[in-house]
Structure 1
Amino acid sequence: MKKYLIIFFVIPLLISCKKDIIATFEIHIENLDRYDESEHELYKLEIYRNNRIYKVLKSEFPYNLDRTIRIDSIKDGKYLFVYENIFGKQVKNEILVDASKNYKIRINPDRLDDKFKSSAFENMRNDEVKLIYKSSGCFHLQKDSITILNRGDYYFIKYDNGKLKKIDKKIIENFVDLENRIRNIPKERGCTTVDSFIFKFKSKSDTFYDGTCRINLVSTLTNYRKKIKL
């Protein structure tokens, strides 16, 4: 009998000692690519808690959501942040809240999880890839190109005068990522500015157009080359 009485009194005591988790979300909307200086559009962010809708953050077009959003009084649970990236594809961030603290949530409109398997830059073997890119609109015209050469374990920038500049694999990884983004550009039109990209690789030529007015890869590539002096 005493055993049951002890259990009867101990269980409520343990329950009362359990503290409720009250956390905070600090949501930062920012670009994943640090060379992309565009403020990409994001009008809607859905938040789920334990597979049920918890909150929907919306803004009225043409205004984006605030770049920093704070949400207080967050209880424990599994949270899912769902939004559409600039490529028109759904992105999900999962966060487990299990402590009373500030959780920093990074939302990247330019994040792309899809991977193109037959990347020209990634599959170079003692060969070269030339990328010709152009941006044209009502009041501007910008055109340039870059050729990357592979020789064994080494990569080079090949200039028009035939000179070579050795580059590291981090630069190659950046161009692999760039190509992946280009090949995932949605086939939309309606923008007065159109970016075009031509890949020349092994006697083949692939051409892509960006008429979305929101991805801006030509300006990102131009900024990247300028910053690292490529």
Structure 2
Amino acid sequence: MRVLGISGDPTGKSKVDTLVKTVLENSKYTDTEFISLRELNIGPCKGCFSCIKTNHCTVQDDWNSVESKVKEAEILILGVPTYYGAAFGINALTHSFLERWFSLRHKGIKLNLKKVILIIVSGGEHENTAITNLKTFFEIYHGVTDIEVIVSRGSIPCLVCGEGESCPISFAIEMYGEGLKITPDIMPSLEKQNDVIEKSKLILSK
């Protein structure tokens, strides 16, 4: 099995990267690869329809370096942070990457994908929007029905921006109450989520 791990984390410091790599490192399959979207320049679909006859996107950017890997992958591990999670579900970096899959579904789907593992990191407990939208993307548009989900609790921006204790629209205050003091013990570190780590280790190990 060819296993492709894709991280949509733009920072390189989040739980998304860690969990995608954890799944890959504990996989029983040896043909694996990790790709970070932050290291690539992949823009959105331009709607030009130049890909209709060839199933190849003509936009010149780093999509060209990953297109064949996406087509060859039999298992995809997709790690996604949920920026503006309640409204959009997934962040723009991941969205642009997935939009470019449009070129792979003319005259029959051009994928080998048999299974998708979604790793969703959400600070505001809005993971269901991302899960629903991504399942629609893979099931309806690309014919993949074997989908598993791992959800990790992340830090909402208001906990780390420096103004979360006093900002008039602080979601941290809404979550934790008035008089909030942001201390290390309320931060949702991955080390506190043993069930998530274990699931990531086991999901492809058997």
TM-score after normalising by structure 1: 0.19
Q: Considering fraction of residues, name the structure with more helix.
A: 2
Q: Considering fraction of residues, name the structure with more strand.
A: 1
- Greater relative contact order (Cα 8 A, min sep 6): structure 1 or 2? 2
